[in-house]
Amino acid sequence: VWYGMVWYCLVWYGTVRYARMKLAGPLNDVGLKTTDVVVLVDREQGGATNLKDRGVTPHAVLKISQMCKCLVKHKRLSMEIVGKVATFLKENQVVIRPKPEEKKKKDDKPKRALTYEARAEKCKNKTATKLLKIMAEKKTNLCFSADITDKKRLLEVVEAVGPHICMLKTHIDTLEDFDMDVAKKLRALADKYNFIIFEDRKYADIGNTVVLQYSKGIYRPVEWADIVNAHPLPGPGIVEGLKKNGGPAGRGLVLIAEMSSKGNLATGAYTEASIKMALEYPDYVMGFISMRKLTDSPGIIHMTPGVKLVKGGDGMGQQYNTPELVLAEKLSDLIIVGRGIYQAKDPKAEAAMYREAGWAAYEKSLTS
């Protein structure tokens, strides 16, 4: 079942005791997280206790004691036999104390090891360092996705939300009245309010083509955008092509390792290949578009789209998660919010709310 950007698998087993021995343990051994076990019969010999001690919640359709009561009620079992069953169960408890590494607590939450400030000192890409420092100084992990098609409206909204964001994400090719003047004005606002500009271009071609797309034509993002992004699909040539002009200009590249839309194909082996590709270019690839933390590399900034204050969807495949889920539980670094802000009656006030929620979730995720 696909729910909340995670695949869930339900495994049914016969009894609690064997679920622990033959199911929960082996699944954990291969890196899967076992949270709940559904069984047909709890024989009440300690299996449920063993699971709970390891942070796994058992769910039994029936218990031996319930079965006995039902059989007695319908005169299929005598009280004498029920007494013998009860004695047997009491004298044959199998409680296996968990090893230290097996112990889990339901309230255990994943924690991030380093603050934004600490990570800024470990980055090999200058833009990544700058972004993490801005996030720490302004106390914001909010990126505003400005999917606005009119440059006057675009500049007005960015002016309003600028104090609350660490990054502005544009789709510059959707502007109906684009000229390089708007790019210059966005650059001036970025300097005024101290935020990064991220052009969400989603390059997906061979190296030679993206060289031209990045630095030629009417948009020329290399001249004004601190960051662009790309699909890893074409292979490392796309990174090499963008780096040709972006590297000397001190820019950064974000790879799209995962997406927030339902049914997308950026999963599994594709995501793993994206991680490997990114780690081969630590001086240029500075982050991922992803739904969660994918690597412990301090120089990789995880940016998660599809965020609203309340979970839900838009009827077109987009799935929204909350700042709390994205930052405190999935340990992403930065939330990307678009319609939740620019469709609000007061974008400035709404941005302030997202900023507060995002920062609170970040602080909650820290180890100290």
What is the CATH classification number for the domain harbouring 48? 3.40.50.2020
Residue identified by tokens 């994943």 is 110
Q: Say whether pLDDT at 101 is over 80.
A: no
DSSP state of 89: H
Q: Is residue 272 part of a domain?
A: yes
Task: Provide the annotated binding site for substrate.
Answer: 147, 169, 260, 318, 338-339
36 and 182 both lie in a single domain: no
The helix-helix angle for 207-215 and 237-246 (nearest 10°) equals 30
Of residues 90 and 104, which shows the higher confidence score?
Answer: 90
Write out pLDDT tens, residues 313-338: 555 556 678 999 999 999 999 999 99
11 and 53 both lie in a single domain: yes
Write out pLDDT tens, residues 256-303: 999 888 888 888 889 999 999 999 999 999 999 999 999 999 999 999
Q: What is the CA radius of gyration of the chain?
A: 26
275 and 316 both lie in a single domain: yes
> Please, are residues 347 and 328 in contact by the beta-carbon 8 Å criterion?
no
Domain of residue 24: give its range.
Answer: 2-102
User: Which residues contact residue 240 at a Cβ distance below 8 angstroms, ignoring those fewer than 6 apart?
Assistant: 207
> Please, are residues 366 and 112 in contact by the beta-carbon 8 Å criterion?
yes
Q: Is residue 247 part of a domain?
A: yes
Instruction: Work out the mean pLDDT of the chain and round it to a whole number.
Output: 88
Q: Is residue 109 part of a domain?
A: no
Q: Is residue 110 part of a domain?
A: no
**Mean pLDDT, range 62-70, rounded to an integer:** 91
202 is known as an active-site residue: yes
Point out which residues pair with 236 in neighbouring strands: none
283 is known as an active-site residue: no
Domain boundary among 63, 78, 102: 102
Write out pLDDT tens, residues 212-245: 999 999 999 999 999 999 999 999 999 999 999 9
CB count within 10 Å of CB 200 equals: 24
120 and 68 both lie in a single domain: no
295 and 152 both lie in a single domain: yes
What's the pLDDT at 145?
A: 98
Domain boundary among 102, 134, 167: 102
Q: Is residue 233 part of a domain?
A: yes
Residue identified by tokens 């590297």 is 247
161 and 79 both lie in a single domain: no
Write out pLDDT tens, residues 176-215: 999 999 999 999 999 999 999 999 999 999 999 999 999 9
123 and 262 both lie in a single domain: yes
Q: Is residue 108 part of a domain?
A: no
User: Which residues contact residue 362 at a Cβ distance below 8 angstroms, ignoring those fewer than 6 apart?
Assistant: 116, 141, 327, 328
132 and 264 both lie in a single domain: yes
Calpha distance 2→262 (Å, rounded): 9
Q: Which of 155, 159, 223, 147 is nearest to 193 (CA)?
A: 159
Give percent of the chain with pLDDT exceeding 70. 84
Write out pLDDT tens, residues 21-64: 555 556 655 555 677 888 888 888 888 887 787 778 888 889 99
CATH number of the domain to which 343 belongs: 3.20.20.70
205 is known as an active-site residue: yes
Calpha distance 231→205 (Å, rounded): 9
**Catalytic annotation, pick one of 200, 226, 308, 333:** 200
User: Which residues contact residue 5 at a Cβ distance below 8 angstroms, ignoring those fewer than 6 apart?
Assistant: 260, 291, 292, 319, 321
Q: 23-32, long-range: CB within 8 Å, 24+ apart, which pairs?
A: 24/51, 24/54, 24/56, 28/102
What's the pLDDT at 261?
A: 85
Q: Which of 186, 195, 191 is nearest to 164 (CA)?
A: 195
Number of domains in the chain: 2
* The model scores a pTM over 0.85: no
**Mean pLDDT, range 57-84, rounded to an integer:** 90
**Catalytic annotation, pick one of 22, 152, 202, 276:** 202
What are the start-end ranges of the H helices in the chain?
Answer: 16-19, 25-29, 47-53, 64-73, 79-91, 116-120, 126-138, 151-161, 180-193, 207-215, 237-246, 268-279, 323, 339-342, 347-365
CA 31 and chain centroid, separation: 18
Point out which residues pair with 13 in neighbouring strands: 39
pLDDT band at 128; cut points 50, 70, 90: very high
Write out pLDDT tens, residues 6-26: 445 566 666 655 555 555 556
Give percent of the chain with pLDDT exceeding 90. 65
Q: Is residue 107 part of a domain?
A: no
Q: Which of 357, 350, 352 is nearest to 335 (CA)?
A: 357
SS3 255: strand
262 and 359 both lie in a single domain: yes
User: Which residues contact residue 68 at a Cβ distance below 8 angstroms, ignoring those fewer than 6 apart?
Assistant: 77, 82, 85, 86
Q: Say whether pLDDT at 73 is over 50.
A: yes
Calpha distance 132→135 (Å, rounded): 5
What's the pLDDT at 275?
A: 95
Domain boundary among 43, 69, 102: 102
Q: Is residue 12 part of a domain?
A: yes
280 and 154 both lie in a single domain: yes
Angle at 197 between CA 192 and CA 203, to 5 degrees: 165
Q: Which helix (H) or strand (E) holds 367?
A: none
78 and 120 both lie in a single domain: no
CB count within 10 Å of CB 277 equals: 17
Burial-class residue 217 by CB neighbours within 10 Å (0-12, 13-18, 19+): exposed
What's the pLDDT at 58?
A: 84
70 and 125 both lie in a single domain: no
Task: Provide the annotated binding site.
Answer: 147, 169, 260, 318, 338-339
